[in-house]
Amino acid sequence: MIVDTGAIRAFLDDRHIALAERIAEYSTRVLAPLPEPADDAAARQQARELLGKLGAAGWFAPIRDQDWRACCLIREALGATSPLADAVFALQALGVVPMLLTENESVRKRWLEPAIQGRAMASFAMTEPDAGSDVASLGTTAVRNGDAYVLTGTKTFISNAGLADFYTVFATTDPAKRDKGIGCFVVPADTPGLRFVRALVLSSPHPLGEIAFHAARVPRDCRLDGDGEGFKLGLATLDRLRATVGAAACGMASRALADALAHAKTRRQFGKPLSDFQLIQQKLARMATDLSAARLLVYRAAWEKDRGAPRVTLEAAMAKSFATEAAQRIVDDAVQILGGRGVLADNAVDRLYRSVRALRIYEGTTEIQQLIIAGQLVK
């Protein structure tokens, strides 16, 4: 699947053009032939294999380099060919970026390069049964005890739960301070007291689950943030990565559009191709326009961050909300154009239909993004 760099050329450097060509070739050759996992166990096994493949090929390096346009190009290509590979990339970024934004050298020394090389799988543990969009209401506690913190609580809807080698965990150090009393910790998966509770099975292959901390003792030097700065660190991480979620959505949408267009040009009904019918043309036109607008918003946000903007809160929120909503519409229209073929389990468009929905929820729902946008405008 070729990533069209022409429309977004103004936001890219020459190295990005070359990277787009390489990741497109790699995705088509290595990822596209992979079968969709049959169940959760198979998805977990394939996720592990994908981690090694992507790491060995060097595709996680732009995360370490904080080259957000490169990350967007990679996620767009992965989203088009393997939503599971895209999820693996996304979680490496979520787990690693907090390390990059702090001065904790001991954590970096242990985990950064293994994660970038695909030898250590990351996870990002923020969401709880009673704390989703309202991060300040986290119930998991981290109580200082000598030279360590003792973590107690439950995290749910955690990607790579039970599979990760380390978890980047957000916990309350002072409940009275709410968002100013949250810490961020890197917790090795083999920490005594950390338990994988259960898998949560999605309709699309994705290792998701619940973990619990039962007086899990974590050394003090595993804390990434300064006192009470964990909430800001989490927001800064999401601020950088939300545009890449939009890029993954664009990849899924571009694949859906390509498949729908190819089908419309070859499928004949009433003596002529579907593409001759004006209602089909209307869908194709809307799909292409939405996709172009989404990509421009995504790469504008990444370009702003790459050129040194301290915050891209507004741009990233616009990119994620518009791109993910547009991708949902585009994939849905593709299913409609393909008709019965579009809902067959072995059809790529059906896989995209099951995969794209989650993008409107994770890393901040569309509704939260709209509140962020409005808040930035009012401020």
Q: Which residues are catalytic?
A: 363
- 199 - beta bridge partners? 209
Instruction: Kindly give, in sequence order, each residue whose CB lies less than 8 Å from that of residue 25, ignoring residues fewer than 6 positions away.
Output: none
Are 207 and 43 contacting, i.e. CB atoms less than 8 angstroms apart?
yes
Q: What token pair was written down for 169?
A: 């965990």
Whether the Cβ atoms of residue 179 and residue 231 lie closer than 8 Å to each other: yes
The Cα 14–Cα 7 span in angstroms is 14
Cβ atoms of 234 and 97 within 8 Å: the answer is no
Answer for the pair 95, 115: CB distance below 8 angstroms, yes or no.
yes
Q: Which residues pair with 184 in a beta bridge?
A: 170
Nearest-CA neighbor of 175 among 210, 130, 239?
130
* CA distance linking residue 372 with residue 251, whole number of Å: 24
- CA 48, 49, 50, 53 dihedral sign is positive
| Strand 122-125, strand 166-172: pairing | parallel
Q: How many CB atoms lie within 10 A of CB 45?
A: 13
- 344-to-211, 242, 251, 347, 348 alpha-carbon distances in Å: 34, 31, 21, 5, 9
The label of the residue with tokens 């326009």 reads: 289
Residue 132 DSSP class:
S
- What is the DSSP annotation of 37-102? PSSHHHHHHHHHHHHHHHHHTTTTHHHHHT-HHHHHHHHHHHHHH-HHHHHHHHHHHHHHHHHHTS
Phi/psi at 65 (5° precision): -80, -5
Written as six digits, the tokens of 283 are 């869908």
Q: Give the whole-angstrom CA distance, residue 174 versus residue 115.
A: 30
